[in-house]
Chains A and B, each alone.
Chain A
Amino acid sequence: MTVLALKRLRLTASERRRLLTGLLFISPWLIGFLAWIVYPLLASLYYSFTRYDLIRPPVFIGLDNYIDLFTRDPHFRVVIPNTFYYVGLGTPLSVATAFLLATLLNTHIHGRPVFRAIFFFPAIVPATVIAMVWKYLLNPQFGAFNAVLRALQWRTIPFLTSPALAKPTLIAIGMWGSGYSMVLFLATLQNVPRELYEAATVDGANALHRFWHVTIPFCSPVILFTLVTGFIYGFQDFTLPWLLTGGGPNEATEFYALHLFRNAFRFLRMGKASAMAWVLFVIIVVFTFILFRSSSRLVYYADAGE
């Protein structure tokens, strides 16, 4: 190892010059990396073993924060299943919605740019505004949804105010805002070589076969990418649930990011929040690893030989 490292360090004058130039160019990232990632990672690991309220200096308490989370904290026991429900169901549903919309747009239709713009539209609206609009639309007394139901003399639905419906409602709003992935999928679908479809047609495949055996395999790397980033961001989702339900009703939408934020900035439990953050980090790494591992046989890379 040392020999290898030394050999690597034995650089020619030109290499050394290029190394310096390269480092100079990436120095903004390098400084940011050290200041806002490396140091905070280590510091947060240290804080996770302490009790720290920002006012008094941190007190080392060993594994207490972690033990507390898994054995004593009554909220954490709710937050974990909440988050897995929301992310585990919401992300695949959003990705599926985006993919089906893209497939629909990729057929031979007139006015594709218009429909694409419409489906993409909710994705650019600020999350704050989305929260306001849906809170109003779904209001049990005078929201448009329930007003329509009432006009039809049907029973009103407590979308956001019933613990059973709050999570599915948030998931549906997420599906409504899946325009980014749709655009990504549409770009991918337009790259599927036509020969593949033609060859499949010659072999006697119908539209459904072609979709299943040509379209899906060709798009599988992008589907995997979207799923992985969707899971990573899903675990960190904050603004929409924070403003729409505030974690309620009865903690039904108290997701990981909300609970962590509350601990850090409402209760000033920086140590416990750091412990929660590290648990989340481990969850995300494990999740990503499992997803890549289990999908390696399902995902098809066109240029795998390169």
Chain B
Amino acid sequence: MSVEASVQAGAGMRRRKKRSLAWWLLQAGKYLLLIVLSASFILPLYWMAMSALKNPWQVYAIPPIWFPVPPRWSNYWEAWHVDNYNLYALNTVLRYAIPVTIGSVLSNAVVAYGFSRIRWPGRDVLFSICLMTMMIPWQVTMVPVFIIFKRLGWVNSYKPLVVPAYFANAYTVFMLRQFFRTIPTELSDAARIDGAGEFTIMWRIILPLVKPALAVVALFAFMGAWNDYMGPLIYINSTNLYTLTMGLARLSASLNQVGVKDLAYPYLMAVSTIVTLPTVLLFFFAQRTFIEGIALTGLKG
């Protein structure tokens, strides 16, 4: 990082001597472009948060109102109670996201360990099979898997969404394996000579070293469950088991039945904002983890 910075500083010094009008124009153009692009990326979400605060007469105003005065803060409270969103939020977190996160971290860590830290005959063949499964579209297995869960009597429960998370998945195994491979084998060998079993080595030595990678797995698993719509759409029928995403889709489908018709859109945007908020907070607190995780999934194995 410091090398890069000094190289950049050096380049800057060299440039400073001959800064021409063209250079300044280029800089101005670059920042203008960045600002215009930033605006177009952020405006839709700004519009969501602002629309959530509008009074009925502000919704249809032309030209559109960019900042509603006075903001109608009560939209949030009212919208949240149009439907049983407290229950949906609890379902999403306690029945779905947290169990999936735990299962995903545990199973993927163990499997990735087996694929990278132990040398055994046939390992690399099985791993390439594991990688190949990433190409299979979920639709191919969707019908039989649904039938399996139906026969088990698991439809209309969270089991079909949660249980598979405890059996690892190729993408995450691949990512974690990349991390595990960076740790020198001598570390494990030394522990083996001391008579430590493989599980002890993993639990005591390796896993503590890859905590940031496990955080990436946990983050992606949690976000995946929080954002998931199709899984619950297939498996959950009873409204008392709905997730937030399903509740949001339900609100959108029944917009005209919402008590105060003129507030339908502010309500929809208010719930949307609340559903987005945790992902935004997670992102800001764990930005590094996110960025590193994505950068790592793209590296060649």
* Bound-complex Cα distance A225 to B170 (A): 16
Query: What are the residues of chain B within 8 A of A125 when measuring CB–CB?
Result: 45, 276, 279-280
A150 in the interface (beta carbon within 8 A): yes
* Bound-complex Cα distance A151 to B60 (A): 12
The bracket for how many chain B residues form the interface is 35 or more
Query: In the assembled complex, how far is the CB of residue A238 from the closest CB belonging to chain B, in whole angstroms?
Result: 5
Interface residues of A in 260-306 (CB under 8 A from B): 260-261, 264-265, 270, 273-274, 276-278, 280-281, 284-285, 288
Q: Nearest B residue to A139 by beta-carbon distance?
A: B265
22 contacts between A and B (CB under 8 A): A18-B120, A21-B120, A26-B111, A28-B110, A29-B167, A29-B173, A30-B126, A32-B168, A33-B133, A41-B141, A44-B143, A47-B143, A117-B287, A124-B280, A126-B226, A128-B229, A132-B48, A144-B64, A147-B62, A150-B62, A176-B40, A281-B137
* Bound-complex Cα distance A276 to B140 (A): 8
Kindly identify which residue among A101, A128, A277 contacts B139, using a CB–CB cutoff of 8 Å.
A277
* Bound-complex Cα distance A11 to B295 (A): 39
Instruction: Please determine whether A21 and B252 come into contact, CB atoms closer than 8 angstroms.
Output: no
Q: Nearest A residue to B197 by beta-carbon distance?
A: A21
B121 in the interface (beta carbon within 8 A): yes
* Bound-complex Cα distance A187 to B135 (A): 24
Query: What are the residues of chain A within 8 A of B107 when measuring CB–CB?
Result: 28-29
* A39 and B144 in contact, given A26-B111, A29-B130, A127-B229 (Cβ under 8 angstroms): yes
* Bound-complex Cα distance A128 to B230 (A): 10
Instruction: Please determine whether B229 and A119 come into contact, CB atoms closer than 8 angstroms.
Output: no
Instruction: Please determine whether A137 and B144 come into contact, CB atoms closer than 8 angstroms.
Output: no
How does the 8 Å CB contact mask read for B278-301 relative to A, with 1 for contact and 0 for none? Answer: 011011100100110011011010
Query: In the assembled complex, how far is the CB of residue A92 from the closest CB belonging to chain B, in whole angstroms?
Result: 17
A60 in the interface (beta carbon within 8 A): no
Q: Nearest A residue to B63 by beta-carbon distance?
A: A151
Partner-contacting stretch, out of A64-72, A79-87, A107-115, A160-168: A107-115
Query: What are the residues of chain A within 8 A of B135 when measuring CB–CB?
Result: 232, 284-285, 288
Query: In the assembled complex, how far is the CB of residue B144 from the closest CB belonging to chain A, in whole angstroms?
Result: 4
B268 in the interface (beta carbon within 8 A): yes
* A187 and B140 in contact, given A11-B121, A108-B11, A126-B227 (Cβ under 8 angstroms): no
Query: What are the residues of chain B within 8 A of A274 when measuring CB–CB?
Result: 140, 143-144
Query: What are the residues of chain A within 8 A of B298 when measuring CB–CB?
Result: 184, 187-188, 222, 225-226
* Bound-complex Cα distance A93 to B107 (A): 36
Using CB atoms and an 8 Å cutoff, list the residues of chain B in contact with chain A.
Answer: 4, 7-8, 11-12, 30-31, 33-34, 37-38, 40-42, 44-45, 47-48, 51, 59-64, 107, 110-111, 113-115, 118-123, 126, 129-130, 133-148, 150, 164, 166-170, 173, 198, 223, 226-227, 229-230, 234, 245, 248-249, 252, 265, 268-269, 272, 275-276, 279-280, 282-284, 287, 290-291, 294-295, 297-298, 300
Query: What are the residues of chain A within 8 A of B147 when measuring CB–CB?
Result: 43, 54, 270
Instruction: Please determine whether B144 and A280 come into contact, CB atoms closer than 8 angstroms.
Output: no
* A119 and B123 in contact, given A127-B229, A128-B229 (Cβ under 8 angstroms): no
Query: In the assembled complex, how far is the CB of residue B132 from the closest CB belonging to chain A, in whole angstroms?
Result: 10
Query: What are the residues of chain B within 8 A of A273 when measuring CB–CB?
Result: 139, 142-143
Interface residues of A in 31-64 (CB under 8 A from B): 31-33, 35-37, 39-41, 43-44, 47, 54
Instruction: Please determine whether B229 and A243 come into contact, CB atoms closer than 8 angstroms.
Output: yes
Query: In the assembled complex, how far is the CB of residue A258 from the closest CB belonging to chain B, in whole angstroms?
Result: 11
Q: Report which residue of A35, A121, A257 has the largest number of chain B beta carbons within 10 angstroms of its beta carbon.
A: A121
A199 in the interface (beta carbon within 8 A): no
Instruction: Please determine whether A133 and B143 come into contact, CB atoms closer than 8 angstroms.
Output: no
Query: In the assembled complex, how far is the CB of residue B196 from the closest CB belonging to chain A, in whole angstroms?
Result: 13
Query: What are the residues of chain A within 8 A of B297 when measuring CB–CB?
Result: 184
Kindly identify which residue among A26, A190, A235 contacts B126, using a CB–CB cutoff of 8 Å.
A26
Instruction: Please determine whether B283 and A124 come into contact, CB atoms closer than 8 angstroms.
Output: yes
* Bound-complex Cα distance A17 to B265 (A): 63
Query: What are the residues of chain A within 8 A of B38 when measuring CB–CB?
Result: 115, 118-119
Kindly identify which residue among B61, B249, B265 contacts A136, using a CB–CB cutoff of 8 Å.
B265
Q: Nearest B residue to A190 by beta-carbon distance?
A: B4
Instruction: Please determine whether A129 and B275 come into contact, CB atoms closer than 8 angstroms.
Output: yes
Instruction: Please determine whether A122 and B133 come into contact, CB atoms closer than 8 angstroms.
Output: no
Instruction: Please determine whether B48 and A109 come into contact, CB atoms closer than 8 angstroms.
Output: no
* Bound-complex Cα distance A54 to B64 (A): 50
Query: What are the residues of chain B within 8 A of A43 when measuring CB–CB?
Result: 143-144, 147
A221 in the interface (beta carbon within 8 A): yes
Q: Report which residue of A148, A176, A274 has the largest number of chain B beta carbons within 10 angstroms of its beta carbon.
A: A274
Instruction: Please determine whether A40 and B295 come into contact, CB atoms closer than 8 angstroms.
Output: no
Instruction: Please determine whether B139 and A118 come into contact, CB atoms closer than 8 angstroms.
Output: no
Query: What are the residues of chain A within 8 A of B11 when measuring CB–CB?
Result: 108
Instruction: Please determine whether A136 and B45 come into contact, CB atoms closer than 8 angstroms.
Output: no
Instruction: Please determine whether A33 and B130 come into contact, CB atoms closer than 8 angstroms.
Output: yes
Instruction: Please determine whether A19 and B121 come into contact, CB atoms closer than 8 angstroms.
Output: yes
* Bound-complex Cα distance A19 to B230 (A): 38
Query: What are the residues of chain A within 8 A of B41 when measuring CB–CB?
Result: 118-119, 121-122, 176
Query: What are the residues of chain A within 8 A of B119 when measuring CB–CB?
Result: 18, 22
A24 in the interface (beta carbon within 8 A): yes
Instruction: Please determine whether B291 and A183 come into contact, CB atoms closer than 8 angstroms.
Output: yes
Query: What are the residues of chain A within 8 A of B45 when measuring CB–CB?
Result: 121-122, 125, 133
Identify the 7 closest CB pairs spanning chains A and B, nearest first.
A25-B114, A32-B167, A22-B120, A187-B295, A40-B141, A40-B144, A43-B144
